[in-house]
Amino acid sequence: MTEHTPGPWTRDEAGFIMADGETIADSQCSTNLDIDEREANGTLIAAAPDLLEACKGIVDGFDEWEGPEEDILPPPSDRACCARNRKVRLYEAVQAAILKAEPLDKEAGDVVE
């Protein structure tokens, strides 16, 4: 399985995404988008490794929690149940984002759903 280029990534003034002095992507190559949107896309792409690590930290924090579940997620009640469901959905969304960002291990049978 091939790993992504390690961060940090940056976007230079020309719109190239750089890692360790090497160009890894060009956020200015699309002619269908205006310059502001291309710059915003480049900034987001450059932040990808940091965002991935932050997501992994969130999941690890939940996965390593050793206290009762109620300490993280409030007990069910009308209002607390909604908060609990939001936290569960957020946790699941973060896990899904990590899976989307990580390269697939085709030899292990990973598939995109």
Q: DSSP for 13-82?
A: TTSEEEETTEEEEETT--SSS-HHHHHHHHHHHHHHHHHHHHHHHHHHHHHT--S-HHHHSPPSSHHHHH
**Residues 67, 69, 74, 75, CA torsion sign:** negative
Domain boundaries, the chain: 9-108
Q: What is the pLDDT of residue 85?
A: 75
Cα gap 13→78, rounded to integer Å: 51
Which tokens hold the place of 98?
């990590």
- Greatest pairwise CA separation for the chain in angstroms: 54
Nearest to 27 by CA among 43, 7, 48: 43
- pLDDT tens, the chain, 113 aa long: 578 888 899 999 888 999 999 999 998 887 788 888 888 889 989 999 999 999 888 888 877 766 555 555 555 555 556 666 777 888 888 888 888 887 666 555 554 44
Q: What is the pLDDT of residue 67?
A: 56
Element at 94 (helix H, strand E): helix 78-101
Q: 0.75 exceeded by the pTM?
A: no
Interacting residues of 47 by C-beta distance below 8 A, sequence separation 6+: 9
End-to-end CA distance of the chain: 18
Q: What is the pLDDT of residue 113?
A: 45
